[in-house]
Amino acid sequence: MPGTWVEPLGLLQGRAAALAVAADLALPLAGGPAAFTLVRLIGRGAPPDPVPLADVPAAWQEAVLALTRPLPPFVGLPQGRAPGRPLVMGIVNVTPDSFSDGGRHLDPQAAIAAGHAMLEAGADLLDIGGESTRPGAEPVPPEEECRRILLVVRELAKAAPVSVDTRNAATMLAALEAGAEIVNDVSALRHDPLAAAALAQADCGVVLMHMLGDDPRTMQRDIRYDDVVLEVAGFLAERVAWAEAQGIARARIAVDPGIGFGKRTPHNLALIERLPILAGLGCPILFGASRKRFIGELSGVESAEARVPGSVAAAIAAAQRGAAILRVHDVAETVQALRVLAACEAGEVSPMDVGDAEE
């Protein structure tokens, strides 16, 4: 784990953020719209308490400025529905055993219809997977994974950018050939030794996610962290550097803290609260908490399908902390929440978003 980190604190949103930046009282987080007024400097020789921006020691100033730089669109994807707001990625699980919707979209035509419905509801892109990575899930051979997803990828890629959720190099290459533009690997390219070399030759986006260990079957068995946020950030920094060394440009990489992958509820909450620290990696942040177990634990809701309000709340919290892509099951609800959030923070709304009558 790298020895030094700069953690943005004192976050501001919307008009307050813009006014504070204009008055040199805050700096934009990854180009905005959020801004930060304080930083915690973590490492040898760092002050013990949070530091106002005006008091940041010279040796740390470049690291602070790195938090402010806007990121280019991820592999050319369009910006979110509102300026500075995250993209919404709809989840299409072509599996019999995913924790929330397993079996519902196992038929390719059902999966294709679900993907189109998500796009009509406002999704910016789709994430298609043929292997469940829920805790305890058994692996799926690449041949079966491809049988499940390739028709779905091929058809939906005609309508929108498509990500393939897989750990297997053979599946990655087949999906890219079928039209996928992003590979989303929960193992951060640790599962298949052929994956990095394959992706180095491909002009695609790559999502690197943190998971405790590299096997969903065992990731929840022995969960221990000293500081989950710093350990996750350090892991992702190492994987990004490793991927670059294999020939995958940083501009093609997004990072995912892996909510629920080898974490319990307190770990997930800490990662959400301190998500802005990942802005220092210089990669877009993908965030996926949709319908996960910790939301049920916090809300007392056992059924994954009934965790929609809690999922939207987690997505909004991540959006306010710098997430660039929200991976969700419930697209319409998330898009609606983001639109209202943007209007509330701006204090205004485009006439195109206003109906003819108030109700």
Residue 308 has pLDDT above 70, yes or no: yes
Ramachandran region of residue 29, left (φ > 0), alpha (ψ -120 to 50) or beta?
Answer: beta
> Once rounded to an integer, what is the mean pLDDT over residues 115-129?
97
Neighbours of 269 (CB within 10 A): 17
Question: In the chain, how long is the greatest CA-to-CA distance?
Answer: 60
C-alpha to C-alpha distance for 167 and 207, rounded to whole angstroms: 11
- Contact 248/200 with Cβ under 8 angstroms? yes
Residue 350 has a pLDDT of: 54
Record the pTM: 0.93
If one compares 75 and 104, the residue with the highest pLDDT of the two is 75
Both structure tokens of 163: 């990500």
Q: ∠7-10-14 over CA atoms, to 5°? A: 115
pLDDT for 326-342, tens place per residue?
Answer: 999 999 999 999 999 99
- Contact 162/179 with Cβ under 8 angstroms? yes
- Identify which of 203, 202, 163, 201 has the alpha carbon closest to the alpha carbon of residue 185: 163
Please list, residue by residue across 198-236, b when 16 or more beta carbons sit within 10 angstroms of its beta carbon and e when fewer do.
bbbebebbbbbbbbbbebbeebbeeeebeebbbbbbbbb
Domains annotated on the chain, with CATH? 5-66 (no CATH), 74-345 (3.20.20.20)
pLDDT for 57-83, tens place per residue?
Answer: 999 999 999 999 998 888 888 765 555
Residue 349 has pLDDT above 80, yes or no: no
Residue 191 has pLDDT above 90, yes or no: yes
The CA–CA distances, whole Å, from 105 to 102, 111, 114, 151 equal: 7, 5, 7, 13
Both structure tokens of 66: 């790195």
Cα dihedral 209, 169, 329, 111, rounded to 10, equals: 180
At residue 357 the predicted structure's pLDDT band, cuts being 50, 70 and 90, is very low
327 labelled catalytic: yes
At residue 216 the predicted structure's pLDDT band, cuts being 50, 70 and 90, is confident
Q: Which of 85, 252, 263, 327 is catalytic?
A: 327
C-alpha to C-alpha distance for 340 and 12, rounded to whole angstroms: 17
Ramachandran region of residue 344, left (φ > 0), alpha (ψ -120 to 50) or beta?
Answer: alpha
Both structure tokens of 109: 């035509």
Residue 1 has a pLDDT of: 38
Q: ∠286-233-57 over CA atoms, to 5°? A: 115
Burial of 247 (0-12, 13-18, 19+ CB in 10 A): exposed
Q: ∠7-212-244 over CA atoms, to 5°? A: 65
Residue 81 has a pLDDT of: 53
- Contact 32/46 with Cβ under 8 angstroms? no
At residue 221 the predicted structure's pLDDT band, cuts being 50, 70 and 90, is confident
Non-local CB neighbours of 105 within 8 Å, separated by 6+ positions: 92, 93, 94, 95, 111, 114
274 labelled catalytic: no
C-alpha to C-alpha distance for 174 and 43, rounded to whole angstroms: 43
pLDDT for 236-292, tens place per residue?
Answer: 999 999 999 999 999 999 999 999 999 999 999 999 999 999 999 999 999 999 999
Q: Which of 292, 293, 307, 321 is catalytic?
A: 292
Residue 358 has pLDDT above 50, yes or no: no
> Once rounded to an integer, what is the mean pLDDT over residues 2-10?
87
> Once rounded to an integer, what is the mean pLDDT over residues 76-95?
80
